[in-house]
Structure 1
Amino acid sequence: MQAILLCGGMGTRLRSVVSDRPKPMADICGKPFLQYLLEMLREKGITEVIFALGYMGEMIEEYFQDGSAFGLKIAYSYEEDPLGTGGAIRNALPKIMEEEVLVLNADTYFPMDYQGLYRFHQENDGDFSLATRAVPDISRYGAVRRDVAGRILAWNEKLEDGGQPLAGEINGGIYVMKKSLIAEIPEGKQSLEQDCVPKWLSEGKRIFGLPFDGYFMDIGIPKDYQQFITDVEQGKHGK
């Protein structure tokens, strides 16, 4: 299974502590966050990766090169101007060699069952399937709702509970997508979360979610970046 890693974000919320490199290259105990992510994916049988690069992407290619030193086969897709998550996936289309592809946010560490999500996607003849994750506070993310079969009913819902933390199920930032669906994304700047998925839901595309638990960390803000460093130091990030 091929995987696209979305590495093109500017990382503005993390800039106060990581200013000299793209966010996925943030230092974690002497090696970049992205290396932890790739090592975890390799252990789970994913060895072909497409990096969708933007801001300071050359630093990523210089470090990982063709991937052979890491037991991987790596290709690179560059955006000349910021394309958003949907646009970056569309831009990588010429490098996708299979009918379904795994897509991941490169700032999130979520060692779930990738093969299980892929099987779920195929069993449901999904166009787009995502890993969901229950969290104690959805305020940073927006919630998703599923029916009993896993079909997505609501996406990026903004729920409030009088200013108190509200538990719910969120998009885990890991997807399986049909190549034919990716081809439908218009060229240019597109947000997967704000533009593409809402449109596909309105069109009746087969969009499913499968819940996973276990370790989950998005390093997009300084507090969680520091927490991931602590978790790596204590050996907690694989649990």
Structure 2
Amino acid sequence: MKASDVVGLIPAAGLGSRLSPLPCSKELFPVGFAPHPEHGEPHPKAVSQYLLEHMQRAGAGQVYVILRKGKWDIPDYFGDGSQLGLQLAYLIMQKPYGSPFSLDQAYTFVRGQRVVFGFPDILFEPEDAFEQLLQRQEQTGADVVLGCFKVPHPHKWDMVEVGEGGEVKNILHKPAVSNLTYGWAIASWGPRFTEFMHQHLQQVEEQFHTSGKELSVGEVVQAAILKGLRVQGVYFDTGNCLDVGTPEDLLKAIHTLS
């Protein structure tokens, strides 16, 4: 797979209120250690570096990071991405109505390309997870492929209802109670979904502008399912994911990786 075939998208415009106060953007909070790129000795590893490495392994040569104004420590830390074998570009969020609106900031740059998407504060395994999503997309022609993991607390996740052959039938946005076992954490998608999301956001923007609520990526994927787009799931029964955006889960990650 050539690097030019795939681009990465990362929303990094959140306030990090669940971990507030922090001395840095939550995407840079150190979790675990990695060899220093120059002298090889272990040094602290920013939590979002794990996601960037996943994207690089999947062939994403270019990654777009969408920032909120003021989070300049992120480009200051990662620079142009060359130390990770990536080309990083930074865009500024204009519409504070949730991650889909942040992602749409990159629309003119990613339209027509295959996208790998993840949240910078979610750690996951296996290492080839994105590659598996892209392979499923090629095999099935799906518009979207979700990476799904067994999660213990459905109310914290967008839960996935599975149909035959890996088809995703429904996505429930953080249900208070659910007997579903899989939540999705990462995704890949093609141009048809990029176009759908762009058009859908134009249609619903006003209601989020007036309500003050935020739209989730999972809710946009659910809208796409209702419009007939094909959504598949890859289910990582032996993998795991951890949202380190809360103090208790951040503590788990630190204990696991340090």
* Greater share of residues in helix: 2
The equivalent of 2:100 in structure 1 is 86
Compute the displacement of 1:14 (Å): 1.4
The equivalent of 1:13 in structure 2 is 18
> What does 1:94-105 align with in structure 2 at a 5 Å threshold?
94-96=108-110, 99-105=113-119
> What does 1:20-99 align with in structure 2 at a 5 Å threshold?
20-29=23-32, 30-54=44-68, 56-96=70-110, 99=113
The answer for unaligned runs of 5 or more in structure 1 is 234-239
Q: 1:31-63 CA distances to partner (integer Å, 9 max, x unpaired)?
A: 321123323443454442111212543211111
The equivalent of 1:160 in structure 2 is 177
Q: Please tell me whether residue 196 in structure 1 is matched to residue 220 in structure 2.
A: yes
Could you list the structure 1 runs, at least 4 aligned residues long, displaced by more than 3 angstroms after superposition: 39-47, 187-190, 192-195
Q: Pairwise CA RMSD of aligned residues?
A: 2.4
The equivalent of 1:177 in structure 2 is 189
Compute the displacement of 1:70 (Å): 2.5
Q: 1:11-44 CA distances to partner (integer Å, 9 max, x unpaired)?
A: 111115xx23222111225332112332344345
For the residues of structure 2 that align with 1:55 and 1:227, how far apart are their CA atoms? 30
Q: 1:98-144 CA distances to partner (integer Å, 9 max, x unpaired)?
A: 52111111111113321111010122211111100112332321421
Contact 1:54/1:81 (8 A) holds in 2:
no
Contact 2:62/2:88 (8 A) holds in 1:
yes
Q: What SS does structure 2 have at the residue aligned with 1:181?
A: helix
In structure 2, do the counterparts of structure 1 residues 31 and 44 end up closer, same or farther at CA, with 3 Å as the change threshold? Answer: same
For the residues of structure 1 that align with 2:188 and 2:67, how far apart are their CA atoms? 19
User: 190-199 or 178-187: which moved more?
Assistant: 190-199
For the residues of structure 2 that align with 1:155 and 1:74, how far apart are their CA atoms? 31
Q: What SS does structure 2 have at the residue aligned with 1:118?
A: helix
In structure 2, do the counterparts of structure 1 residues 150 and 40 end up closer, same or farther at CA, with 3 Å as the change threshold? Answer: closer
Contact 2:31/2:47 (8 A) holds in 1:
yes
**Identity rate, percent:** 22
Contact 1:6/1:52 (8 A) holds in 2:
yes
Of the candidates 146, 158, 178, which is equivalent to residue 130 of structure 1? 146
The equivalent of 1:210 in structure 2 is 234
The equivalent of 1:224 in structure 2 is 249
For the residues of structure 1 that align with 2:132 and 2:53, how far apart are their CA atoms? 19
TM-score normalised according to structure 2 size: 0.78
The answer for unaligned runs of 5 or more in structure 2 is 1-5, 33-43, 209-213
In structure 2, do the counterparts of structure 1 residues 191 and 122 end up closer, same or farther at CA, with 3 Å as the change threshold? Answer: farther
TM-score normalised according to structure 1 size: 0.84
Contact 2:171/2:218 (8 A) holds in 1:
no
Aligned length: 226
Contact 2:16/2:25 (8 A) holds in 1:
yes
